[in-house]
Structures are given as C-alpha cells and as structure tokens.
Structure 1
Amino acid sequence: MNHRTRLDWLFLWNVLYKMDPHLLTTEKISLKAPLKSIPGAGWAMGCGSYIFLERSFDCDKETMAAFVKYYKDTGNTYQLLLFPEGTDRGVRAAAQSDEYAKRKCLPRYGYVLHPRTTGFNYLLNVMRNENYIAYIYDVTVAYEDVIIDSEMSLLKGVFPKNIHFNVKKYNISEIPTDSEKSANWLKEIWRGKEEVLKKFYESKPHKRRLDPSGAAYIFPVKTEGIGYYVAFVFWMLMTAVWLHSLYAYFFLRLYVIFVSLFYIYVLKRYNGIEFLVMRWFAYRNK
C-alpha cells in the first residue's frame, strides 16, 4: 500500500470493517520501531503482535523471519499490511526519495516514494518458504479533498470527505521468484501508482476518481443507523468514567503505574511485549 500520510492504516481499517469486521482481528501491520514506545497505543500494538521495524535490513531481517514463523505456528491466517516506501510521504521523506532517484538515475515521483525492494524481497521469500502467503493485494489510497497528516487534525475534526481505494489482487504464483525480477515487479507497481495518482490529483476535487482495476465493490456492512450512535455515546461515557475513576481512586492510579512500569521493563528487557509473548509461545509448544 502507498503511504501518503501516517494515518493511512486508520482509514484502511474502516474499509476492512465495512468488508467484514472479522478482518480487523486478523490484520497485522509493519510499523517504525519507535512507535512501540508510545505509552498505551504502542503497548497495545505490541500485544497485537505487530511488526516493528528499525528500517535497517540487517536489524530487521531476523525480526521479520521470527514473526512470520510465529504467525504460522499459531495456526491462524493473518493479513500483513506492508508499506514498501518505509515511511509516509512527508516533506523530508519526499526530499530523500528525490535525492535517491537522482543518485540512481530514476524518475522523480510527485505522489509516491520509491519503494524499498530489499526488505520486500526478503519478507516475500520468508513467507514463501513458510508457505504462509497465497495472495498479494496491491492497495492504492487517494484523498479527494483534505490530506491530513497528524492525529491533531482528527482531534480538530478535520476529515477528508471521501477517500478512494483501489485494490488489485495478485496470486503469489504471478510474482517472480528471482529477487531482481520481483524487485522490478514492485518498482513497476509503484510506477503505475504514480501515474494513477498524478491523474487523480490533477483533476478537479469533485471529479477525482481512481481508475478501477476491476468491478466496483459494494460494501456488505453498512455503517449507518442508531446502533453506531449508541456505540459512540457508550464509549464516550466509558472514557469519561475511566478518567474520573483514575482521578478519584488511589488504587486505580497505583494499578496504572504498575502496568506502565511492567511494559517499560518488558520493552527494555525483551524489546517489547510481542517478543515476550513469542518466547512464551515457543516455550509452551516445545
């Protein structure tokens, strides 16, 4: 999936929910390693066994191999969300991508970053060797009006009115097994994304559409109705209750401190709760 903003994954969750809510329980995401240190959110993602990457192949290859093996050994079928660009298309990342393109005599992209093929090839080969991949879904995301790049925008109520997704499915047999050829396959995918997104963003906002790879998909799950308003009110009330309880009850504050210290210790000792869980799983299944 192309990585236009750091909130792309959040909007993709909405798509998965509208397709089948169960998909949210079987999706894993690859993220930048510093995110695991975020109190609360980072710890929760670690509990979900997300893959945190240092963006250094020498450091990350063992991590990717360990997680793919763990996913397979659990007996569950997971979907892995991968951003081959390595980061979102911010100003700094775009400048670095342009510099890379200049050094390698590659075209300069205005809507995507040049993908990192080494990590993609390695992960693809690991999943093939573990017989843990059947399809690759090429996802292109585009924002019709507002492109938000921070959580603060969400808190201010700034949302894009329409978000466009195009998905193309590839059988794993269609992907070359040769590393150089599979790298070129990925580069060609990204070249196509650049062309599609260029056409999209150069159109007037109300006329922006992605050229579909196939038939339009009708979401089977409707996210309208009184039930969703009730759920929203319920979680707002629960949040208020928790905040009040945290202020009012000493033992609850003590519990939060204990849990926070536990996760900090696990992060320092085991590099995250996800690695501790994998150790426990391996020990239990000896």
Structure 2
Amino acid sequence: MLSIIVHAQSLRWLFPAAAMLSAAPIHITAWAAARFLTLPLPRRVYRAVDDALYSTYQRYVLFFMHCYTGAQIYTYGDAEESQDSKENAVFICNHQSTMDWVVANIVALQHQNLGHVRYVIKDGLKYFPLYGFYFKQHDCIFVRRGQFSKTSMEKQVKRMAERNEPVWMVIFPEGTRFNPSNSQMIQRSRMLAEKKGVSPTEHVLPPKLGALQVCLEHLRDHVTVIYDVTIAFSDTVNDSGVRLEAPGMPEFLMQSSPEIHLNIEKINIAEVPVDGEKMQNWLDQQFRKKDRLLSHFYSTDKDKAGRFPGERSRLPITLSQTLPAALFYNGFLVLMMTTPATRSLYWKISLFGTVLGCVWMSFRSQA
C-alpha cells in the first residue's frame, strides 16, 4: 500500500501537465478565430485580442503552478516599485530550468503586462505541437543555440519597434540552463572566465550579449526599463551545502509546498551603456551580482541560507487572477468531449494543426 501511495505521489505532475497540453487545440482554435475576425481591422485590434488570449492561457498555467502546488513566492529588492501597465520592459534572469519562463510570467502578471510577454527562446521549441507555431504568431523570437544570427533577430525586433506595440521581452542571457551537476559545462565556464582574466562565477554561466544587444539597439526608444531578476528555488541544496539541480516543471508540480525566491532590480534603460563592449561589461557585472546573491542563498550560514539579503515580501497570486482561465479552458474541453462529432473535431485540430504548424515553421526557417 505504501509503495502505491509513493508511486501516486510521484505522478502528481501528470494531471496538470495533461490539462495544460489538452488546452492547446482550444487555444489555437480561439487564436485562429480571433485572427480571422480581426483581418479587416487595424493590426492593433488583433494584437490586443491576441495579448488577452495569451494572458488567459498563462493564467491557466499559473493556476497549476501556484494554486495546485501551494507554492509560496517571495520577492526582494525593487519588487515594490510602482506597477505601470503601459510600461515596456526587457526582462533578464539567470536560467536554471523550465520553470524560469513561468517566473517571468509571474512578474509580468504583477505589473499588469502578462499579455505583452514575448520570449527569446531556443529554436527547437518551434516544433512543439501547436504551441511552437503559436509562439511565432505571438512574436516570440527563436534563436539557435551556438548559432546566433543577429541579422535574423534584427528583422523581427525592428518590426516590433516600427509597430510601436507594447512588449515585455524575456531574455535568458546565459543561453542555456545552469546545471550544477554538469561538470563539463561548469569547467567551460571557468575556462572562459580565466581567458577573460576574471574570477569564475559559482552559480551562473557567463552571459552572452547577442540577443540583449539587438533588443536594446532597436527598442531603446520603445522600452523604458530592464527588470533584472535573480531566481532561486527552495530545496535545491543538500545537507552538505552542495547545490542541487533546480526543479523543472514536472518536479515543481510534485512538490507539496515549493518556494520561489526572486530578487528584482529595476534599471532605467538610460543607465545601460550603448557601446557594445561597455554593454557586455555591464551585463557581466549584473551576473556577478547575481552570483553573489545566489552565494548568499546557498550559504551554509543559517542566517543567510534559503533567502536573499534584505527584506522580503510574499507575492500573492489570487484565485480571481487564475481561476477564470482554468474554467474557460476546462469548460471548453468538457464541451468538446461531449459528442462524437466534437471529439473528432478536437483530435483533428490536434493532429492536423500540429502537422501544418510544423510544416509552416520549417518553411519559414528556410525563407
């Protein structure tokens, strides 16, 4: 009996994962309808509808990530800064797991900008069933790891600047996740630091300037602030003080009461250097600051461990912010499962939408 209970506990992530994935056909259908109906209208109408739809889905994700898990979110630093729904921003953070993009959404939600979030994400995700295609329509930018194309990204960012649309651009400057058990990755990081003549960092990887530089070059007159966020998760250090791998989404969903700690620094865009070399130095310094914050969090000193320096506040996410989205997607899913005809339509949307989306994304990559 005990083994059954333990096994059931280990599968806690299956239900929310299945629920979020099953919403994809509903989401893509709603997006297609919105796109068709707004074709004769000014683009700003379509963008407003799409942003509202995107915000609704991400609130559905947060319903599980917060309400289902019982997660507690603590903020430090500039978290209490005024929240401006008309504020355009670039969001940068350390990258540890698949939960990091959820954290970006949490911060954007509190600033009433969730629908305006756009990601710079790895190229392979463009083939993710239905969502890969949709992220492209939502103006997310796909980049190849180790093969960054400044020209390709510039085209997309210039279009954003020309349209003057609201945006929260999310960038992970490290380019890949920091995994403390990946000794080869950490060794390469140390060698790069030594080559630069600086001390190696312990908890972050050397940041790459490419994506951030393109965004700031073309959005500097459009974006007003940078939110530099340092993320740490509870239960990611063992009794010996050795750092453990951060939880991915499945692991996070299995925890009974996980904690997310966020140190938020709000930086006026005018404070960021324009020159490329100076901008790289500025970015390096920001990540060294992150490294010091994480060293505090992972300290063996009980007065420091498990928290960032300074006062902290608990960031609430209420049911009123997430439950309507859950009812929307689950309600439509139930409706589509009620008759053979609607069930057939649901599976056809899933299958043909995935195939056509992947074909379209492949064609766009070669164009």
Q: Give the TM interval when normalised to the shorter protein.
A: 0.7 to 0.9
- Provide closer, same or farther for how the CA distance between residues 125 and 196 of structure 1 changes in structure 2, counting only shifts above 3 A: same
Are 2:170 and 1:81 aligned?
A: yes
Report the secondary structure of 2:113's partner residue. Answer: helix
Report the secondary structure of 1:139's partner residue. Answer: strand
- Provide closer, same or farther for how the CA distance between residues 144 and 267 of structure 1 changes in structure 2, counting only shifts above 3 A: same
Hey, what's the Cα distance between the residues in 2 that align with 1:148 and 1:243? 37
Hey, what's the Cα distance between the residues in 2 that align with 1:245 and 1:93? 52
The alpha-carbon deviation at position 269 of structure 1 amounts to 1.3
The TM-score, its normalising length taken from structure 1, stands at: 0.77
Q: In the alignment, which residue of structure 2 is the partner of 1:171? A: 268
Q: 2:353 aligns with which of 212, 235, 259?
A: 259
The alpha-carbon deviation at position 236 of structure 1 amounts to 4.5
The alpha-carbon deviation at position 28 of structure 1 amounts to 0.9
Report the secondary structure of 2:280's partner residue. Answer: helix
Hey, what's the Cα distance between the residues in 1 that align with 2:138 and 2:340? 25
The alpha-carbon deviation at position 84 of structure 1 amounts to 0.9
Report the secondary structure of 1:85's partner residue. Answer: coil
Question: What are the within-5 Å matches in structure 2 for residues 1-286 of structure 1?
Answer: 1-17=93-109, 19-20=110-111, 22-56=112-146, 59-90=148-179, 91=182, 93-128=185-220, 131-146=221-236, 148-155=246-253, 157-158=254-255, 161-202=258-299, 203-204=301-302, 207-212=305-310, 222-225=316-319, 232=326, 235-236=329-330, 238-239=332-333, 242=336, 249-271=343-365
Hey, what's the Cα distance between the residues in 2 that align with 1:54 and 1:5? 18
Hey, what's the Cα distance between the residues in 1 that align with 2:303 and 2:269? 36
Report the secondary structure of 1:34's partner residue. Answer: helix
Hey, what's the Cα distance between the residues in 2 that align with 1:263 and 1:133? 31
- The question of whether the paired residues in 1 share the 8 Å contact of 2:231 and 2:263 is answered with yes
Hey, what's the Cα distance between the residues in 2 that align with 1:256 and 1:33? 22
The alpha-carbon deviation at position 49 of structure 1 amounts to 1.3
Deviation digits for residues 204-260 of structure 1 (CA, Å, limit 9, x no counterpart): 499522124xx86675xx534588567646645654555676897434433433322
Q: In the alignment, which residue of structure 2 is the partner of 1:279? A: none
Hey, what's the Cα distance between the residues in 2 that align with 1:12 and 1:265? 29
Report the more deviating stretch, 143-152 or 1-10: 143-152
- Provide closer, same or farther for how the CA distance between residues 258 and 121 of structure 1 changes in structure 2, counting only shifts above 3 A: closer
The alpha-carbon deviation at position 165 of structure 1 amounts to 1.0
Hey, what's the Cα distance between the residues in 2 that align with 1:228 and 1:207? 31
Deviation digits for residues 90-145 of structure 1 (CA, Å, limit 9, x no counterpart): 225434323323444432222111111344334322333xx223222211111132
- The question of whether the paired residues in 1 share the 8 Å contact of 2:297 and 2:304 is answered with no
Hey, what's the Cα distance between the residues in 2 that align with 1:161 and 1:243? 33
Report the secondary structure of 2:95's partner residue. Answer: coil
Hey, what's the Cα distance between the residues in 2 that align with 1:234 and 1:104? 52
Report the secondary structure of 2:132's partner residue. Answer: helix
- Provide closer, same or farther for how the CA distance between residues 205 and 268 of structure 1 changes in structure 2, counting only shifts above 3 A: farther
Gap runs ≥5 in structure 2: 1-92, 237-244
Hey, what's the Cα distance between the residues in 2 that align with 1:127 and 1:81? 13
Hey, what's the Cα distance between the residues in 2 that align with 1:82 and 1:173? 19
- The question of whether the paired residues in 1 share the 8 Å contact of 2:207 and 2:284 is answered with yes
Percent of residue pairs identical: 24
The alpha-carbon deviation at position 197 of structure 1 amounts to 0.7
The alpha-carbon deviation at position 268 of structure 1 amounts to 1.8
- Provide closer, same or farther for how the CA distance between residues 236 and 204 of structure 1 changes in structure 2, counting only shifts above 3 A: farther
Hey, what's the Cα distance between the residues in 2 that align with 1:25 and 1:84? 22
Matched residue count: 263
Deviation digits for residues 151-196 of structure 1 (CA, Å, limit 9, x no counterpart): 33245x2366221111112222212222222211111111111111
Report the secondary structure of 1:69's partner residue. Answer: helix
Q: In the alignment, which residue of structure 2 is the partner of 1:280? A: none
Report the secondary structure of 1:271's partner residue. Answer: helix
- The question of whether the paired residues in 1 share the 8 Å contact of 2:293 and 2:308 is answered with yes
The TM-score, its normalising length taken from structure 2, stands at: 0.62
**Higher RCO (CA 8 Å, separation ≥ 6 residues):** 2
